[in-house]
Structure 1
Amino acid sequence: MPEIGQPNGHPYDALTPDVLLDAMEAAGFVINGRIFPLNSYENRVYQVGIEDSPSVIAKFYRPGRWNRAQIAEEHAFSHELEDAEVPVVAPMKLANGDSIFEHQGFYIAVFPQRGGQAPDTSEQDMLWRLGQWLGQLHNIGANKPFHERPALDLITGLEADTRFLAQSGLIPNDLRPAWDSLVPELISHCRARIDDAGPVDTLRIHGDCHAGNILVRDEQMLFVDLDDCRQGPAIQDLWLLLNGDEHEQALQFSELLEGYETFREFNRRERFLIEPLRCYRQVSHAAWLARRWDDPAFPKFFPWFAQARFWSDHILALREQLAALQAPPISLLGQY
């Protein structure tokens, strides 16, 4: 990883407007000086105006998170999907033929600007179409494995995140007994559900395929932000699209699978992994905020994280999740 030219403070303190514009010029773009920051906390992402051309999206990867080889695998996967006509927004290849460049200690990628809004996953036809595209995305993802990017290791990740949170000093002392007694139960029941699922194949997946990372415009669909792509089970790209009560989620899941299996067979025992994955996401989100608390953007945009109310609500949500882990898995309606 290149060294950030900032001896003190957070690495993103070095990302001034001048550095951003200099980076774009160094990459060969003729900029018009217009910069608009977009909502992104893990990385820094900007809409950048280009002379006599549409604006582009510049992504400055968070220093220390991914190395160059891991970013290269993300980009290669995106380009494979694009070449197979799976609708993704892939990084642009620059004049030197690469899609990654370095400037002032940052790895940077540039993407074409695409508009749209999140899909309405309450619509059956939308879920069916999403399922179709995910089946095709996973067909490409199964062609070969990632070698540099990490695999989704649910139990190892859950143990590491709960241990980090316990040592962070952020959990109020009066809530620690509840936290300390709850965590082993959560991990135990996650293990049991993983055992229920049995052997599960892994493949290259999007990794963070919620509705906010999908754009729909004029009946066209686009998957964006493969920053969390990794080796993992297919269900990770499906369950985040489910919402509502148990019956609603069962209907949505059945519709999603009907579209999915137009192109790819799905191992139905993977549904036992949904609640463990949901548990992991709840815990990892809190651990992510704790790990990023030295980034000035996080206390600014997530002030509630440092309040006792957050932790009492978080523990309550995890207790509810424990009940979900003990319940039967999501139903398969109709032919499912």
Structure 2
Amino acid sequence: MESIGFEPTGRCVPLNSVENRVYDIEVEDKTRYVTKFYRPGRWSKEQIQEEHDFLFELRDAEIPVLAPIQLEKGKSIYDFENLMFAIWPLRTGRIIEEIAESDLQQLGRLLGRIHSVGKAKQTKYRPRLDIQNHAQKALSLIEDGGWIANQNLLKRYKDAALITFTTYENLINTYAIPMQRIHGDCHKGNLLHSKDGFSFLDFDDFLEGPVVQDFWMLLPFGGSKEQYERELFFEGYQEFAELSDNWLKLIEPLRGIRYIHYAAWIAKRWTDPSFPNLFPHFGTEEYWLNETLDLEKMGTALQESSDLYPEENFDQKKAPKEELSNKDFFWDWEG
């Protein structure tokens, strides 16, 4: 912080983050900044800048997001001893656990505005939520790293994963589902409510993908009781952005891809001492068995609901459908 002209008072509070290192730092005039130190090797400077530029576009469109502070000549990424970091204004508020019915249309409009801006340009450096670079690489990391020692279990895991991958690709192609710039990790833990209203936080996973990725992690899907709430949300969303019912068929494949990508993320970070402490059961045979069973149940549900494949393409045993909640996908859901 001193290297970019501040004089910290010594008050430095670590904030909840395991991928990067984030601190609430007070400087000489008692102003507090959120300072984010990027994990070395995860993103290139160009990829981080593309995230920042997207945030500046959203800010300039008067959409309530937190954009990094530019101290000089538009610069928002700083470097100290080869460690990249950026600073944000501190905004206090609370992370919501449940979205009130009265807020659904407002949030729909807000996400619709974000996606409307996201559609205006394509990414140049950020990844794409596709099978080859996003999902298959995650599966290969798990397999090549020897994380599933039981070969029979590994085969079951891979077979179930490939059903999910194939379903996703076929849906994208069959319905010509567009890809565009999206938040990428749009769950309630990244939604802040303050006296000024709602703000979307943490665009660290910003990428190019289907807009549905930003829906299923934010809204309850899978049960008829939530249908009314979803309709309210989409009513607000469609005031600013396009949406087709066919696009929503991606929800279950996206859940499956999230399972695999999330497991690969933990495996990739396992040498970081914080990860074994946070995920003590990761890597055990019980862990992989549960992951495999979940993927197989999902594959069976896709078989029963999809008309994209003949029956003989699925050799999974029939399993009862299980409604999954968003809490199944986020270790830090409670805040």
TM class by smaller structure:
0.7 to 0.9
CA RMSD between the two structures: 2.0
Q: What residue ranges of structure 1 are gaps of 5+ in the alignment?
A: 1-23, 330-336
Does the alignment pair 1:141 with 2:118?
yes
Q: Partner of 1:183 in structure 2?
A: 161
Partner in structure 2 of residue 97 of structure 1:
74
Contact 1:121 1:127 (C-alpha < 8 Å) held by counterparts: no
How far apart, CA to CA, are the structure 1 residues paired with 2:84 and 2:304?
44
Q: What one-letter code is carried by the residue in structure 2 that aligns with 1:292?
A: R
Amino acid at match of 1:136: R
Give me the TM-score of the superposition, normalised by structure 2.
0.85
* Aligned-partner SS, 1:241: coil
User: 2:164, 2:257 within 8 Å by CA — same for their partners in 1?
Assistant: no
Is 1:204–1:232's contact at 8 Å kept on the other side of the alignment? yes
Say how many residue pairs are matched: 305
Establish whether residue 323 from structure 1 lines up as the match of residue 300 from structure 2.
Answer: yes
For residue 122 of structure 1, report the CA deviation from its aligned partner. 4.5
* CA shift in 2, pair 1:149/1:245, >3 Å: closer
Return the offset for 1:121: 4.2
Q: Percent identity?
A: 38
TM-score (norm 1): 0.85
CA displacement at 1:220 relative to structure 2: 0.6
Amino acid at match of 1:186: T
Shift of 1:253: 2.5
Change (3 A) 1:155 1:127: farther
Equivalent in the alignment of 2:194: 217
Is the CA contact 1:121–1:241 (under 8 Å) kept in the aligned structure 2?
no
Deviation at 1:164, TM superposition (A): 1.6
Return closer, same or farther for 1:245/1:199 CA change in 2, 3 Å cut-off: closer
What is the identity, as a one-letter code, of the residue corresponding to 1:87?
Answer: P
Q: Tell me which amino acid in the other structure corresponds to 1:183.
A: A
User: For the residues of structure 1 that align with 2:53 and 2:159, how far apart are their CA atoms?
Assistant: 44
Residue 46 (structure 1) aligned with residue 46 (structure 2): no
Secondary structure at 1:238 match in 2? helix
Conserved 8 A contact 2:128-2:134 = no
Distance 1:100 1:181 in 2: 42
Deviation digits for residues 113-166 of structure 1, max 9, x if unmatched? 112223354422222111100111111112221212122214542222112211
SS of residue in 2 equivalent to 1:306:
coil
- Compared CA separation, residues 68 and 282, structure 1 to 2 (3 A): same
Cα separation, partners in 2 of 1:44 and 1:159, compared to 1, 3 Å: same
Say if 2:85 is the partner of 1:108.
yes
Aligned residue number for residue 286 of structure 2: 309
Cα distance in 1 for partners of 2:99, 2:221 equals 9
Map 1:123-142 → 2, pairs under 5 A: 123-142=100-119
Match of 1:236 in 2: 213
Q: Rate the CA distance shift 1:180–1:200 in 2: closer, same or farther, 3 A.
A: closer
**C-alpha displacement of 1:241:** 1.1
Unpaired stretches in structure 2, ≥5 consecutive residues: 307-335
Distance (Å, rounded) in 2 between the aligned partners of 1:145 and 1:180: 32
Mean Cα deviation higher: 153-162 or 125-134 = 153-162
